[in-house]
Amino acid sequence: MRITNKMITNKYIRTVNTLSYDLDKLNTQVASGRKFMKASENTSAAVKAFQIRRDMSSVEGYQANIEHANASLTNAESALNHMEELMQEAREKILAAQNGTNSQEERKVIATQIKNIQQQLLQTLNSQASDVYYFGGSNTDTPPFSIDTATGSLMYNGNILNDIVSGSDEEKALASDSMYVDIGLGLQIIPDPNDLTKTIVDPKSVFQYTLPGINIVGSGTTTVDGVTVSNNLYDLLGQIASGLESDTYTYESVDILYGQFTKTSAQIVYGLTEVGAKTSYLEFMKGRYETSTLNNQERQLSIEGADPTSTIIKFKSQEVAYQAALQMGTQIIQPSIFDYLR
């Protein structure tokens, strides 16, 4: 078989092109730190890399939701601590008024101080951060607590708390109304038990991060020794203040109210406990996702990442081969007629 100059030239060009392609590929790997730039270069690895990226994207979303929920709980905890301080101050005032040595005028002064605490409680119940009210359940846009102009009673999201019957569907609905975020618990959609034609998010599959204020302040009324006593702290403080400044004041009448106050104010402590438990759980999930992210990054690096040392060595070797091929070209390609005429 006769080997022509054209055949030699074509073979040489193919070899140089191959070396050039491989050199360019290695140069890209060195610059990018990646083994491949297109899925077509390594399909199986690309599929695994896509799955890892998808997992990491989901985790980033969960982490953002955790940070959001944690910030809200931190604000709520601060407000609850302030409420507990107010209730402790109210306890001290009430006990001081009940020591049996105060005149009516002195009791009126203490009653005024309790009313001031009452107003501070209302302001704290309407605490907000970044224009978000965090004791209003799903209502985060408007102040959840207000005063009914007709009765002077405390209202929660438009409902007079004294009128709510304990254990009623209304109370249950208000007490369970909250804001939720997806933190990777397996979000599920289920039929609405109150309307089977609709669907709702399963509360067990998401994280409840707001505290319905009704669970903190209380609702309904209780009859004690024939006396109707409010179960919400705001109105109860008002009753105590009225009892202390009344011309018909008796120790027993205020003591009945104080007994209910002691029970109801404990709900703030329960709220703090709940916030603490939720915060601890979020910290657990945060740590879990941080570990997951590190593991995914290691997996991603093993699949997509190019080893810097070996890649540079391969690049340099390929560069030497390419330069050598170029130099050999002058010897392989047959000289032209002009070279013969010299």
- Which positions ≥6 away from 181 have C-beta within 8 Å? 65, 66, 68, 69, 206, 207, 209
> Mind listing the pLDDT tens digit for each residue in 16-66?
677 666 666 656 655 655 666 666 667 887 788 888 888 989 999 999 999
Mean pLDDT of the chain, nearest integer: 85
Residue 255 near residue 109, CB atoms below 8 Å? no
**pLDDT for 210-268, tens place per residue?**
899 999 999 999 998 888 999 999 999 999 999 999 999 999 999 999 999 999 999 99
Residue 273 pLDDT > 80: yes
Is residue 111 within 8 A of residue 239, CB to CB? The reply is: no
Residues whose CB is less than 8 angstroms from the CB of residue 101 and which lie 6 or more positions away in sequence, other chains included: none
Within 8 A by CB and 6+ apart from 118, the residues are 234, 237, 238, 241
Q: What is the DSSP string of 196-264?
A: EEEEEE-GGGSEE----THHHH--SEEEETTEEEESSHHHHHHHHHHHHH-TT--HHHHHHHHHHHHHH
Which pLDDT band holds residue 1 (cuts at 50, 70, 90)?
A: low
What are the residue ranges spanned by the domains of the chain? 51-298
> In the chain, what percentage of residues exceed pLDDT 90?
53
Confidence class of residue 200 from pLDDT cuts 50, 70 and 90? confident
**What pLDDT is stored for residue 130 in this prediction?**
79
pLDDT band at 341 (very low <50, low <70, confident <90, very high): very low
Whether 6 shows a pLDDT value over 50: the answer reads yes
Q: Which of 55-64, 127-136, 288-297, 333-342 has the weakest average pLDDT?
A: 333-342
Q: Yes or no: say if 207 and 61 are a contact pair by the CB < 8 Å rule.
A: no
Q: What is the pLDDT of residue 322?
A: 62
Q: What average pLDDT does this structure show over 311-319?
A: 64
User: What is the CATH topology of the domain spanning 51-298?
Assistant: f41 fragment of flagellin, N-terminal domain (1.20.1330)
pLDDT value at 187 more than 70: yes
**pLDDT value, residue 153:** 96
What percentage of the chain exceeds 70 in pLDDT?
A: 77
Would the CA dihedral through 162, 164, 165, 167 be positive or negative? negative
Question: Which pLDDT band holds residue 338 (cuts at 50, 70, 90)?
Answer: very low
Contact 166, 220 (CB under 8 A): yes
* pLDDT for residue 182 is more than 60: yes
CA separation, residue 269 to residues 59, 148, 230, 234, 275 (Å): 33, 27, 19, 16, 10
Tell me: the pLDDT tens digits for 93-147?
999 999 888 899 999 999 999 999 999 999 999 999 878 898 999 898 999 999 9
